[in-house]
Amino acid sequence: MLIRVEIPVDAVGIDVLLHRVFGRDDEADLVQQLREAGLLTLGIVATDNKGGGIVGYAAFSPVNVAGEDRQWVGLAPLVVDESLRRQGLGEKLIYEGLDALNEFSYAAVVVLGDPAYYGRFGFKLAAAHGLHCRWSGAETAFQVYPLVEDALSGVNGVVEYSEPFNRL
């Protein structure tokens, strides 16, 4: 298994994985729209050892906080091939992404997902910091991970994902 930053030739394999795992077009269309609009901050892929096929993927794209660019990104989607789940691959994708974003001086990462899963990596409920997203009922699933010590200091309000997320 090789975990690395996405390169252009990976796009087709990512698309195939997203369609196969989610069984619909939404996530694959989202990633394609982010890519085409130049809004894919970082993509992390996991490839298998046999043919180099894409078996895991994590996408990070810019978000604004209360209308400001604060060098924050959102993690979505995160996907692992069903045959490789519960083997720590999602964890490796997340940690590789967090490390890369930290090196690139990003301040924080937000995610909408299971707190029991993402909490293992240090994500905390965003509402506790006065942060929320536009989707109603997401308070218990919307989380934030600061990459720098003061990332959450004096910050509150709506975290806005880029336009392609509004089409979901």
pLDDT score of 16: 96
Structural domain containing residue 103: 2-165
CATH classification of the domain holding 40: 3.40.630.30
Half-sphere exposure of residue 32, counting CA atoms within 13 Å on the CB side? Answer: 14
Q: How confident is the model at residue 35 (pLDDT cuts 50, 70, 90)?
A: very high
Q: At what angle do helices 11-22 and 26-36 cross, to 10 degrees?
A: 150
Percent of the chain with pLDDT over 90: 88
How many domains are there within the chain? 1
Prediction pTM value: 0.94
